[in-house]
Amino acid sequence: MVVATQNPAQVRKATAEELERLNESLSTRTPQEIIQWAIDEHGEGLILACSFGGISGMALLDMAVKIKPDIDVFYLDTDFLFPETLETRDKAMQRYNIKPLAFRSRIDPQQQAHEYGEELWKNNPDLCCAMRKVEPNQRALEGRTAWITGLRRDQANTRRNVQPVTWDEKFGLYKISPLAQWDEKQVWRYIFQNNVPYNPLHDQGYPSIGCTNCTRRVGVGEDSRAGRWSGIAKTECGLHR
Q: From residue 187, how far is each of 58, 121, 191 by CA, in Å?
A: 9, 30, 6
Using the predicted structure, report yes or no on whether residue 240 has a pLDDT greater than 70: no
User: Mean of the pLDDT values across residues 199-227?
Assistant: 83
Give me the phi and psi of 56, to 5 degrees please.
-60, -45
User: Mean of the pLDDT values across residues 45-58?
Assistant: 96
Active site (catalytic) residues: 237
| pLDDT above 70: percentage of residues in the chain | 85
Give me the phi and psi of 197, to 5 degrees please.
-65, 145
CA distance linking residue 218 with residue 230, whole number of Å: 10
The kind and range of the H/E element at 75 are: strand 73-76
Per-residue pLDDT reduced to its tens digit, 162-196: 899 999 999 999 999 999 999 999 999 999 999 99
The beta strand positions in 115-230, using DSSP E, are: 146-148, 165-168, 173-176
- pLDDT of 7 reads 44
SS3 for 171?
coil
- pLDDT of 140 reads 97
Please count the residues of the chain.
241
- Domain 18-214 CATH assignment equals 1.10.3720.10: no
155 — pLDDT class (breaks 50, 70, 90): confident
122 - beta bridge partners? none
| pLDDT above 90: percentage of residues in the chain | 73
Using the predicted structure, report yes or no on whether residue 2 has a pLDDT greater than 60: no
Give me the phi and psi of 146, to 5 degrees please.
-160, 150
* Statement: the pTM of the whole predicted model exceeds 0.85: yes
Burial (Cβ within 10 Å: 0-12, 13-18, ≥19) of residue 136: buried
Query: Any idea what DSSP says for residue 104?
Result: -
Using the predicted structure, report yes or no on whether residue 205 has a pLDDT greater than 70: yes
Using the predicted structure, report yes or no on whether residue 221 has a pLDDT greater than 90: no
